[in-house]
A and B are shown apart, each in its own frame.
Chain A
Amino acid sequence: MKNRRLLALGAVMLVLVTLPFWVRNNYQLHLGALIGAYWVLIAGLNLVAGYTGPISVGHVGLLSIGAYAFAILAGTHGIHAAPAIALAGAIGGLCGLVLGLPSLRLPGFYFAMSTLACSLIVGELALAKQGLTGGGVGIAVPGFPAPFHTPRGTYWLILIIGSAVTWLTWNVARRMWGRALIAVRDSVVTAQAVGVPVLRLKLTVFVFSGITAGVAGALFGSLQSYITPDTFVFEMGLFFFVCIIIGGRGGIVGPLIGTAVLTALPELAAPLAKLGNLLYGVLLLVVVLLLPEGIGRLFEVIVERLRGRRVESRPVAPDLARLAAAIKLGRAP
């Protein structure tokens, strides 16, 4: 069971690492890198929107903060790319803290509105602070230094960072923190009853998502090589959230698939380019109506069916000696 999973993971990683050698052109490679950059943000956002519950549609604001920070630090000031990416992440995390501290207390809908407002404010600031951001004209974003300066190198850099972020979120998801986050999402009353500090958890994952959004901004900006306030349209914020919903809340593989599909679909179906938005709409509708738990859950159900695990009912029969031993186990110092 565990070996099979490791094998699957190894196969997927092999495909991802060797992707530059079997894509047909640089554009497809760029698309792969773009999916990776989006995923860095979405992986962090997934801990917020997918696991913990708060609906943020404003992460595009944090993305643009990261992108501008990287452009200004690495471009204007010529700082080395590595510390510039790290600083973009730190600034993203700080902005996440500033945004989350007052707004995470709000109930769902109002929180979503506050994130939306934040992304609009960031756009306006980028437009107004001409000296810093180039205003409406925009600003050039430098590439990465060797060995990451080629398209392949950039792709691999993003793959490394994306894998690292995925690993971090996976560690969180499968431990007590992951359970506590889901408790906050599904039943605040339960979370409180077992002593989970609800606001602190929300804030922690929100700051983490700010950091990943900042890092993603640096990667995304560099991929675009030139950014203006119009690069970061409001729809992008919605797009990140939709990737998670289509993939399924409370998993990692689902949103990853959602990100890849939603990024690649309109691009690869080039003849249908005009229908791209329609495809989004139809897909979203199908998932919400037929698979409310997302694509990820669909795979789980298929696996369960294939294994043929039957749900059989049997009467509850306590084992009192074992219960007493277990209670006393908890009592032991």
Chain B
Amino acid sequence: MNGHPQHEEDFDLYALGVLEGEEKQALEAHIAVCAACAAKSAEARGRVSLLALASKPIAPPAVVKSRLMEQVRAESSPARAREESRTTERAGGLFGRWTWAWAAAAAVLALATGFLWYQNVKEQEKIQQALREATATELKIQNAQKLIAILQAPDSVMISMASSDSSQVTGKVCYNARLGKLACSTHLPAAPSDKSYQLWLVPMAGNPVSAGLIAPNMISTDDMWMTDVKAGMAAKAFAVTLEPAGGMPQPTGPKVLVGLAPQAVTFSNPKGKIQAYSIHATAWGVASGSTPNWPVHARESSENMR
């Protein structure tokens, strides 16, 4: 294979472990040099790993955890282990005075060596951790910046979505047609296991366009998430429907949330832009010029922006 695999499922078949011979070697060789395919392979590995969940859930016996923690404790403190061993020897009184003195010297040396080794490992770990923290912080800042870019763009519009059945079920979308980006947060009950919530952009003309599944909110319904849609679509409304798991190309299920988009606003001058943003932002509880006070991502952003 000189180029990309012909079929996307090849990555899944590779992750499943069924490829063999030349087929497998060719894909491995390609993944090693193609970052895009390596990324697809990582995604396929994730999808295939989920097959583990098709096993009958069995809780492990508590003794496994005790053994693991004992093993870890014994390894993580070599200095402590040496100290304990030295104490035992002393208490045993097996050595004469000089033997004991040498043993003590050897123990001190061993302790010092152990300590230095431990320090070295700790330093290495600290460096690794600092690097990891820096990367994680950078990612958080990038995410926060993307979110703020959508929220602060003067031509972004805020849409509140509501349910006809319950005032507890709500959602908000911040949409920028020019950028083709939107940020969304929803309060929704957990979807049944065979269903997914799907967000739709209803354009001024034509069929609804999927803006993705609301999967990241399976746990925390307060999470803010972002997604891209085709740029330049004027939105009439946004809606969330309950669809078969994995989503549908067009809405088929009941509308859970609906929100009408404000009519297109023409900004004639820079002041107008700011005022318009301010009105929308205030309506959504965001003070203009300050960091948005939202849960999760917004919290990350406020921490990083300080």
Partners in one complex: no
